[in-house]
Structure 1
């Protein structure tokens, strides 16, 4: 009888994707259990509901003095963490220059497994609600589990920062708060790079392409990225005067966007390569060729028209690969496994 090989159970490593380390030694399950036992809503002393957590430079002294931190049940009658799944169309940017962060969120909403990693499914405003939530990020190469209470900063009864278009949905606001805690304050998120957000949400490897000198097969690389379930974001050049100036063609200067898809369509016997882009503001779109109102869509087949065109002011639009490279100066592609980027 042949001797049996020793079978060793693979040990989970603290800080791995499957066993993230409690950030600041705050254990979500223990804290929630304690709150439920004592019937007291969680208050996070390590990221307090005060001006320190907002940080300096975001709000005027007058507005800072009138900020009221409220829990979702104080804002709406039926708060939910998630309504009908997470979507790139759920949210709009608030009074914080973190379009790069929201563009990264838009990318991960296309991958349910990544969303379930970042936003654990063991929490809600219904079952075992105790005013405490947790989110996971890959921070300095290690996965951490970040706990927050659900007190959110408001002015005149409205959320100051990111907010959902569905009034009773709060996953973007709480995710943003957890990310702000990780970096010390909301102000720390004011300005950043899409690549950083994509890396922190996935732990993946990324590559940045200069679209001013894009390789001839850039669209093909993007097509392969979509097929490999890679995440993509892009950015526009800074304006000469100030950031976030909206150009006549609808593109915003100094702004981050999400790339949400690519396709080819037949138009007047020519094959046109298209790129789909999302503005994290949740509105404001490209107005040129292949935009929602472009007459060029009347030249494609009925099937392509029905499949690809969605005429809504939701911030998402199509443009040709040529116009994409003219309008944006940087493309970020992030993969959980680096094989695509080699």
Structure 2
């Protein structure tokens, strides 16, 4: 069956016209819903540069610089995704990236101005089609996400536009969580871990991160607040890190050298600049303990590119939250790993029927009406007489509410209680 994208592109090739997306038009409300910025113009890549390309060579984590939008969480997530080519290729499917880098996207015989991307949207893959009109300044520069290293490369800007369309506007991407975007890119299961609640962290927490990295889980981290000053707004600290800012985790390594063991993480600032200035930073003395061969094996790059190494201890000391996206069972990248089964349930809470409320309502007699699911675990893991289960809840349509009700928007707390015989999911009573 021919896809909508294929039908539209075929018609554009026959007519010689460029695609204009009526669902996400080049007008102010596609940019912001709380203000108007007359300094922004919509222009196509062919109006900005003579020979624009979708991808130059191959997609890289260095292809993304944040721009003026406060979507560091999104850019950090895409940077992490770009480290896994097998996962990345599913999002921008069948794009001109399959052509050699020397092939521009504006050849007269192929130019249509239409692109499509895939996102995992509430339990299924959704195709998002866009035109290539992008927000620019008067100086003919992209105002949001762009590639600083390759000004003729546009995949990062086009992907951001498709994600903005999915959310309803560019402004809807202003603030968010890394793991939410990673779920939208992979269909995985998210996990958020507080680094401040150390009593609940396992003693071998670094080994947990190392294992997650080996399993190709995607990770990021952020700083909520400067605990010395209680500062929460985005501002640089003395060590080069930023409060109110998200960072990609692009590598986790345990390095052994001359009897010593070092636990290191590689992070990237979505801005493509401004790095950590403490131990294990690009020009720090710690790297002098390793010879040139070891530094090369690790992949040390001394450059102002936003990427830096930092010790596990300094991550625990400076960052507040670790965000992880565990890949789904169906993911091709896990084909050589031990298989596991994924099951999805769709449900709703209806006022007066099964909106029984939180734990408070146990005493009021309505708690038991909440949605209940019975799950049986039958297969042991590794002959240990134990079974592993991961439960993840997703609140539908929160992105849509965020776009329409930005000022009033708050997430409804959605939780579950797990018993030996049944899983009970609940939210505050009479919400729906």
Which TM-score tier does this pair reach, normalised by the shorter chain?
0.7 to 0.9
1:275 aligns with 2:262: no
> Any residues of structure 2 matched to 1:20-31 within 5 Å, and which?
27-31=4-8
What's the counterpart of residue 237 of structure 1? 224
For 1:111 and 1:141, the matched residues in 2 are separated by: 22
Residue 99 of structure 1 and its aligned partner are, at CA, apart by 0.4
What's the counterpart of residue 164 of structure 1? 147
Residue 242 of structure 1 and its aligned partner are, at CA, apart by 4.7
1:108 aligns with 2:95: no
Residue 268 of structure 1 and its aligned partner are, at CA, apart by 7.0
> Any residues of structure 2 matched to 1:51-66 within 5 Å, and which?
51-57=28-34, 61=36, 64-66=37-39
| Contact in 1 for aligned 2:24/2:30 (Cα 8 Å) | yes
**Residue deviations 1:188-210 (CA, integer Å, cap 9, x gap):** 00000111101000001122211
Q: CA RMSD in A?
A: 2.0
1:327 aligns with 2:304: no
> Any residues of structure 2 matched to 1:145-160 within 5 Å, and which?
145-156=127-138, 157-160=140-143
For 1:211 and 1:158, the matched residues in 2 are separated by: 39
Residue 101 of structure 1 and its aligned partner are, at CA, apart by 0.4
Cα 1:130–1:207 shift into 2, 3 Å: same
SS in 1 for 2:235: coil
1:72 aligns with 2:62: no
What's the counterpart of residue 190 of structure 2? 206
Structure 1 range deviating more: 124-133 or 42-51: 124-133
| Contact in 2 for aligned 1:280/1:315 (Cα 8 Å) | yes
For 2:188 and 2:164, the matched residues in 1 are separated by: 21
What's the counterpart of residue 248 of structure 1? 238
Question: Which has the greater radius of gyration?
Answer: 2
Residue 266 of structure 1 and its aligned partner are, at CA, apart by 3.9
For 2:96 and 2:289, the matched residues in 1 are separated by: 48
> Any residues of structure 2 matched to 1:67-146 within 5 Å, and which?
67-123=40-96, 125=105, 126=107, 128-146=110-128
| Contact in 2 for aligned 1:123/1:133 (Cα 8 Å) | no
Cα 1:218–1:341 shift into 2, 3 Å: farther
SS in 1 for 2:296: helix
| Contact in 1 for aligned 2:119/2:126 (Cα 8 Å) | yes
Aligned length: 315
Residue 264 of structure 1 and its aligned partner are, at CA, apart by 2.2
Residue 38 of structure 1 and its aligned partner are, at CA, apart by 0.8
Return the TM-score normalized by structure 1: 0.87
Residue 267 of structure 1 and its aligned partner are, at CA, apart by 5.9
For 1:184 and 1:177, the matched residues in 2 are separated by: 10
For 1:304 and 1:87, the matched residues in 2 are separated by: 23
SS in 2 for 1:298: helix
For 2:168 and 2:183, the matched residues in 1 are separated by: 18
| Contact in 2 for aligned 1:87/1:109 (Cα 8 Å) | yes
Residue 71 of structure 1 and its aligned partner are, at CA, apart by 0.3
**Residue deviations 1:249-271 (CA, integer Å, cap 9, x gap):** 01110111111111123467431
Which of 161, 166, 169 aligns to 1:182? It is 166
1:260 aligns with 2:250: yes
SS in 1 for 2:111: coil
**Residue deviations 1:266-302 (CA, integer Å, cap 9, x gap):** 4674311111111111111110011111101111243
For 2:389 and 2:80, the matched residues in 1 are separated by: 17
Kindly indicate which of the two structures has a greater share of residues assigned to helix: 1
Return the TM-score normalized by structure 2: 0.70
Structure 1 range deviating more: 70-79 or 203-212: 203-212
For 1:169 and 1:238, the matched residues in 2 are separated by: 35
**Residue deviations 1:297-342 (CA, integer Å, cap 9, x gap):** 1112432222222111111111111101111111112122366985
